[in-house]
Amino acid sequence: MKSAKEFLVDLEQKVETLYQVSEEVTRNYFASNPSKEHLMDHFKLRMMNERWNMVEFAKKVAALPVTTSGEEAMLLCKQTFDEANHYRMVREVLEHLNGGPISMDDANSTHGEKDSAKGVTLIDRYEAQDDPLIMALYQFLGEGRAARVWATMADCVEDEFIATRYGKIARDEKFHSNIGRMKLLELCDTQQAQDRVMDIALQMCWDLYEVACLNTYMPNEAAKARMREVYGTPTRELKLDTI
C-alpha cells in the first residue's frame, strides 16, 4: 500500500487533466466575447455558488465534534468566512458590470437553487456532510479546480476592478483545497480509503467538468475526448448534449 503522501501525489496528477480542461473552457468562454447578459448570468451562478458554500461550511462548523482539534476548527471557520467574503465580492463584480445595484431577490429567484451548474451540489450528491473523507475530497478537488478557474478568469479580464477580485478568490480557493488535502493525508491511511477516494474522484471530475461547461455554455468534443481518456465513462448521465 502507498503512503497517504504518495497517494495524494497520484491523486494530484490524476485530476490535473480536469484542471487543464476547465482552464481551457474558461479561456474559450471569455475569448468568445460574451454579451453583458451572458456575463451577468455567469456570475449570478458563481455568486450563488459562493453563498451555498458559505451555508454548507457553516453547517459543517456547527456540527464539528467536540474532539475536533482547535486548528481544524479554525481552518474551517476561516473557509466559511472566505466563502461569505466571496459572496460579497462576486456581488460587487455584478454591480460593477451592471453599473449599479442588482436585485438580490431577483438573483436568488433565477439563480439561487442548487443545480448542476454549481459545484456545491456535489456536497448533497455524495452526502459529504456525513462523510469526512468525501467532504475532504470535495474541498481538495472542487476548490482546487475553482482556484485554477478563478486565476484563469483573472488573466482573461482587463478590467482591474474585476481582475483583482478574481485573483483574491483564486488564492483563497487554493487555501481551501489545501485544507482538504491535509484532511485527506490524515484519512487516506488504508487501502480501502485510498481506493474509495480514487473511485469517487473519477466521477467527481466528470461532475466538475459538467459544472464548467454549464457555467460557460461551451462544452466541446476535444475536451470530452481528453476527459474520457483519463477518467473513463461517467457513471451517471450528465446534463450536456455533447457528453
In this predicted model, what pLDDT tens digit does every residue of 25-51 receive, in sequence order? Answer: 999 999 999 999 999 999 999 999 999
Residue 200 — very low, low, confident or very high, per pLDDT cuts 50/70/90?
A: very high
Task: Summarize the confidence of residues 133-140 as an average pLDDT.
Answer: 98
Q: C-alpha cell of 76?
A: 474551517
With a pLDDT cut of 90, the percent of the chain lying above it is 90
Closest to 118 measured CA to CA, from 57, 195, 208: 208
CB of 88 closer than 8 Å to CB of 51: no
Better pLDDT: 116 or 191: 191
Mean pLDDT of the region 107-129: 94
Identify the band that residue 96 occupies on the pLDDT scale cut at 50, 70 and 90: very high
Overall average pLDDT of the 148-160 stretch? 95
Q: What is the pLDDT of residue 215?
A: 85
Fold for domain 4-231?
Heme Oxygenase; Chain A (1.20.910)
On whether the pTM is more than 0.85, the answer is: yes
Q: In Å, how far are 99, 126, 172, 186, 225 from 213, measured between CA atoms?
A: 27, 20, 23, 33, 14
pLDDT at position 45, please? 94
